Structure formats: structure tokens, C-alpha cells
């Protein structure tokens, strides 16, 4: 209850003081990324201060050496937590936990309480020891929009906010559509790696079948909207309402939309309403207002109940969660919420997570919920991004073509000495998981494309990384490659949206006999990957620099009807300017 929550808040005060305030900026001010699971027992391992312009981690020293001096801003923040704890003890709303709210509860300028899971770049692996690379697909794009938001505000994003695969997959690529009734097409392109001339860069592309919104099956959409106090800012609930209006305009008579709102308690604001009764739906959207604490678990329970009671057989059944992720009442930890979502996904209702706002954006939690809920995650930083996600790519967001989609690459040691998957660090699977239909994996929507990039080291070229001592009791394996010219084989497993048994596709890849020029898409995907590696300061960035990123990006503009690629090139210039002012 309130006493427990107050105790938790005061416990945070104690930990912050004990550790010399690990969540504080340096004396010059900065934003803070709360990295890792909220369930983690030792906050010292997961709290990282980030300088406001450079994005460089600010060291906090040895936590065992005793408290560090507390600048005025730190004392202000501690006082804020104490005030909120007092409010909870008195049974009054605490206006969110460390969220950017107004009045006496506003965080000091320069503070942020955003949460990002820690990511370590995938290493190079030796084919002789690990010939199989297995991972779950990821069609999420939240990281790109979030990175764009940081750069637009004059800040380098925290490294853990940069998921390279989500940057690459934000953009459309000119992959051939599937044929002969297959749900996907698989295509491969390989050339020299722009940042490592002795290596090759392999681009593996998947494209799902296209379905227009007019041809999509009837939909049962339940929007679960956070209307707590932390959602009051212009880029939160007001932007949610504008975004919902976009989707309502596309709805048909056979579709239905429900609105469940939650703050301290959840409630059904709009029961399932046919899509042609637009005036009723829009009036309900207009009634939503922000205030109170955030009981996300209660809202999730109610939203799934409404969706299950209105199930459309063979249709689109989906809950769309619109929030900043700042849950602070009821089941609020990442683990508790993930387990709740796992239970609900068995109902056949899928989940989309739409993130809004800044300052207390819980990225790690949003990603976990989307992955556990057979869904996808997007970050809405602007009205144009809302249009992209809910109008231009509506069927990709709403209509699942296949679930539990896994990719496994088998490399031929006759031609490949080592490899590294670029990105997908939080989507890696064990080799045996590929054939295990009980293992959860990613979903892909209509018209979605997925790109995976591998940096491949040819046979005879040294593989970076340490060696182990020779084995004493057994002979080391002899690397004998297949005499064929195949470089590798792409294997793909997937289930139908309502299925439990997977199907498999295999596509071997043999390099062209003659050297061919890289496509514009290859140049562009290379540019985005290098952009992400520079933002992360990846140990594998090789000779990549901002000039190379810009050159590749401009060379890969190609057809760009929406202007997304041109916008990316401008972002590169912004990032370069920030980096050069360090």
C-alpha cells in the first residue's frame, strides 16, 4: 500500500546517499539513464549519468569509498524523493516516481530518469567453434525515433538507447515481394565492409507479404491509454490523442475500437464501438485527461478482458498500450509486468507498445512488454511519426503475418573464418532454440521488412579476440569446410499467427562469380549501421567516421518518397556537430 511505496521511496533516498548519488549528473549537469532491469538488486551496476552534450558516461568513483560530496542539484533531487514519500505515507498521490512533473515535484533541470537495458556489442566468433548464429527477428523501430529525439534536442543519446538493428529496420528497402504463396521472401547481398576492407558485410533481408488496410480482416482494437500525472506534457497525452484521431479516420464499419484508461485505477472509457461511429469515438478521445499515479497492471488486466470478450475469429485482436512506461502503483516491476503479459498472450490477443514523452521514458520496460506480448514497439516523438506508425504502416503495426520468427545462419568454414552479427544483442538465441517451438521469438507484420547485417571474416584472415589454451584431454576439432562454393545458408522458422507448429525455409548463398557494385540500399544500410556503431562507440567500428557515414548515406538515398533517408543524413550532420564539440 501507500506505506510500502513510501518505504521504497525512502529506500531509494538511502541508496542514493550511500552511493554518493549514482543517479546524479556531474557538477556541470547532465541527463541520467537508468540502465538495466528495475528488479536489479544493486543499482550501482545499472545507473549511468550522461553528460548533456557529449553523451559520455560520468564516472561515480568507487562506491565502497564512502559518500561523495552532494552538489545542490543532488540535494534537490533527494528532497524531491522525500516529499513524494511523505505524500504516499499521507495517502496522497506522489505524482509519479522521479517523473518530470510540475510544481514542487519537478526534477531539477538537467535530470532524467529514463531507463535503458544494458547492451554489449556482439563479439566476433570463430566458425570452427560456433558455425551457427541464431536470433529472433526484431521489427521494432523505437530506438531510431528515440535517438532522433535526443539529437534534435542537442544531446548525444546514451549508448544503451542505441539498438543498431532498430535503426537499420526503421527504413524501407527494395526487397522483392514473396512469391508462390510464401509469407516471406529472403534476399542476400554481400560486399566489402566500408569500415574494415579485409572483411565483408553481408545484408540479409526478409520481406513479408503486403496487405492494404482495405483488405485487412476486421479488427478488434483496444487502446490502453496512460492518463496518469506523468502524461500531462504536450508530447505525451495530447500527442496520444492526436495520434488516435489519425487511426480512427481509417477505421471501417467492421472494425471496433475500445478505450481503456488507467491512472491510480483503470476504467473502460469507451466500450467496443464500430469504426463507422467516428463521432462517438472522437468524443471519448477528447474526454481523456491526465492526473494521478500509474497502475499499469490494472489497466493491462482490463484491456485484455475487453479484447477477449470482443474477440474476432480470424481477425486482428490487439491491445495498443500508449504510455511513458512510468508505472508506480500495483505490479510495476519489469519482471511482474512481463509475467502478466506472458499469461495474457495465450489468449490470442497481440500487443503493441507505443512510447511517448521524455524525462522518465521507460524504454527497457516497454521493450520487455512488447517482446513478451507477441507484439512490437514504437516510439512516437512527433505527429509525423504517429502518421508513419498508425497510417502509412498501419497493417504492419496491427496485422501479424507470422509469429515466433527465428533466423539461423550456418557458415561454411571453407570460406568463412569468423563473423559478427551487428545489433540484435537482446534477441540472441541458443542454437537449439531454433528447432524448439516452445521458445518465444519475434513477430512480423504485413509489409514489414527485416534486415540483418553480418560482418564476415574470410578464411585465412585473422579473427579478433582472445584464444584459449590448447585442450589437454581431447583433440581440437579439425575445420573441414564443405567443398561447395556456398558461403552460408539462411534458415528461417516461423509460425502462423494462430499456429503452434513452425515451418522452415532454407536459402543457401553463393557469392557472384564477378564483382558487382553495391546497391543504393546496401550503401544506406551500411551508413545507418556505422552511425549506430559511432553513437555506441562500438569497439568494432573499425575505420568508420562521421564523414564515411554521411558519404554512404548520401550515396544510398535512392528512391525516398517519404524523405526519411534525407532526414537521416541531416541527423548524421547533427550528430557529427555534437561529437566535434566534445
Residue 322: strand pairing partners: 225, 354
Residues 365-383 pLDDT 10s: 888 888 888 889 999 999 9
pLDDT of 48 over the 70 cut: no
Q: What is the DSSP letter of 132?
A: E
First to last CA, the chain: 46
The two beta strands, 442-445 and 400-411, are antiparallel
pLDDT at 481: 63
CA distance 156 to 145: 13
Beta-strand (E) ranges in 362-500? 376-380, 400-411, 416-422, 442-445, 449-458, 488-495
- Provide mean pLDDT across the span 208-235: 92
CATH code reported for the domain at 219-398: 3.40.50.410
pLDDT of 5 over the 70 cut: no
- Provide mean pLDDT across the span 63-74: 41
Tell me the average pLDDT of the chain: 81
| Nearest CA-CA partner of 81 in 24, 40, 42 | 24
- Residue whose C-alpha cell reads 522452415 in the numeric block: 504
Helix axes 334-345, 296-309, angle to 10 degrees: 10
b/e burial code for range 78-92 (CB count within 10 A of at least 16 → b): bebbeebbebbbeee
Task: Report pTM.
Answer: 0.81
pLDDT of 487 over the 80 cut: yes
b/e burial code for range 30-64 (CB count within 10 A of at least 16 → b): bbbbbbbbbebeebeebbbbbbbeebbbbebeebe
C-alpha cell at 382: 512527433
**CATH 3.40.50.410: which residues of the chain?**
219-398
Q: What is the DSSP letter of 389?
A: I
Amino acid at each position: 500500500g501507500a506505506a510500502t511505496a513510501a518505504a521504497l521511496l525512502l529506500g531509494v533516498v538511502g541508496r542514493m546517499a550511500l552511493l554518493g548519488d549514482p543517479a546524479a549528473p556531474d557538477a556541470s549537469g547532465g541527463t541520467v539513464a537508468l540502465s538495466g532491469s528495475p528488479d536489479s538488486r544493486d543499482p550501482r551496476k545499472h545507473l549511468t549519468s550522461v553528460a548533456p552534450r557529449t553523451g559520455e558516461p560520468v564516472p561515480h568513483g568507487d562506491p565502497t569509498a564512502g559518500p561523495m560530496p552532494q552538489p545542490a542539484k543532488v540535494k534537490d533531487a533527494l528532497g524531491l524523493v522525500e516529499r513524494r514519500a511523505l505524500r504516499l505515507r499521507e495517502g496522497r498521490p506522489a505524482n509519479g516516481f522521479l517523473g518530470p512533473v510540475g510544481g514542487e515535484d519537478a526534477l531539477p533541470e538537467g535530470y532524467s530518469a529514463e531507463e535503458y537495458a544494458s547492451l554489449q556489442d556482439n563479439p566476433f566468433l570463430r566458425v570452427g567453434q560456433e558455425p551457427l548464429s541464431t536470433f529472433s527477428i526484431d521489427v521494432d523501430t523505437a530506438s531510431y525515433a528515440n535517438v532522433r529525439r535526443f539529437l534534435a534536442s542537442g544531446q548525444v543519446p546514451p549508448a544503451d538507447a542505441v539498438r543498431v538493428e532498430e535503426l537499420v529496420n526503421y527504413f524501407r528497402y527494395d526487397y522483392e515481394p514473396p512469391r508462390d504463396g510464401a509469407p516471406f521472401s529472403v534476399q542476400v547481398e554481400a560486399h566489402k565492409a566500408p569500415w574494415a576492407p579485409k572483411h565483408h558485410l553481408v545484408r540479409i533481408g526478409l520481406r513479408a507479404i503486403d496487405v492494404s488496410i482495405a483488405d485487412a480482416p476486421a479488427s478488434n482494437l483496444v487502446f490502453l491509454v496512460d492518463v496518469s500525472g506523468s502524461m500531462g506534457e504536450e508530447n505525451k497525452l495530447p500527442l496520444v490523442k492526436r495520434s488516435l484521431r489519425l487511426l480512427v479516420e481509417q477505421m471501417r464499419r467492421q472494425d471496433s475500437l475500445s478505450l481503456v484508461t488507467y491512472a491510480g485505477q483503470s476504467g473502460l472509457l469507451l466500450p467496443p464501438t464500430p469504426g463507422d461511429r467516428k463521432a462517438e469515438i472522437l468524443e471519448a478521445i477528447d474526454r481523456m485527461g491526465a492526473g494521478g499515479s500509474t497502475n499499469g497492471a490494472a489497466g493491462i488486466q482490463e484491456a485484455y478482458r475487453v479484447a477477449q470478450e470482443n474477440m474476432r475469429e480470424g481477425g486482428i485482436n490487439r491491445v495498443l498500450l500508449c504510455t511513458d512506461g512510468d508505472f508506480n502503483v500495483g505490479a510495476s516491476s519489469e519482471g511482474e509486468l512481463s509475467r502478466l503479459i506472458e499469461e495474457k498472450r495465450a489468449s490470442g490477443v497481440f500487443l503493441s507498445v507505443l512510447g511517448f514523452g521524455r524525462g522518465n521514458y521507460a524504454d527497457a520496460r516497454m521493450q520487455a512488454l512488447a517482446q513478451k506480448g507477441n507484439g512490437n514497439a514504437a516510439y512516437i516523438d512527433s505527429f509525423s511519426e504517429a502518421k508513419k506508425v498508425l497510417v502509412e504502416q498501419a497493417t504492419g503495426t496491427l496485422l501479424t503475418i507470422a509469429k515466433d520468427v527465428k533466423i539461423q545462419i550456418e557458415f561454411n568454414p571453407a570460406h568463412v573464418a569468423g563473423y559478427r552479427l551487428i545489433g540484435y544483442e537482446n534477441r540472441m538465441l541458443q542454437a537449439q532454440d531454433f528447432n524448439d517451438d516452445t521458445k518465444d521469438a519475434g513477430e512480423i507484420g504485413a509489409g514489414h521488412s527485416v534486415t540483418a547485417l553480418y560482418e564476415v571474416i574470410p578464411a585465412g584472415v585473422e579473427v579478433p579476440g582472445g584464444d584459449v589454451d590448447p585442450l589437454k584431454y581431447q583433440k581440437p576439432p579439425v575445420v573441414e569446410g564443405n567443398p561447395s562454393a556456398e558461403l552460408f545458408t539462411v534458415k528461417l522458422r516461423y509460425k502462423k499467427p494462430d499456429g503452434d507448429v513452425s515451418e522452415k525455409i532454407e536459402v543457401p548463398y553463393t557469392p557472384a562469380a564477378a564483382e558487382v557494385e553495391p546497391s543504393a540500399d546496401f550503401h544506406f544500410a551500411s551508413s545507418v549501421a556505422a552511425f549506430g556503431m559511432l553513437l555506441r562507440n562500438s569497439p568494432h567500428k573499425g575505420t568508420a567516421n562521421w564523414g564515411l557515414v554521411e558519404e554512404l548515406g548520401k550515396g544510398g538515398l535512392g528512391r525516398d518518397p517519404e524523405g526519411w533517408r534525407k532526414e537521416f543524413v541531416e541527423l548524421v550532420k547533427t550528430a557529427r556537430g555534437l561529437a566535434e564539440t566534445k
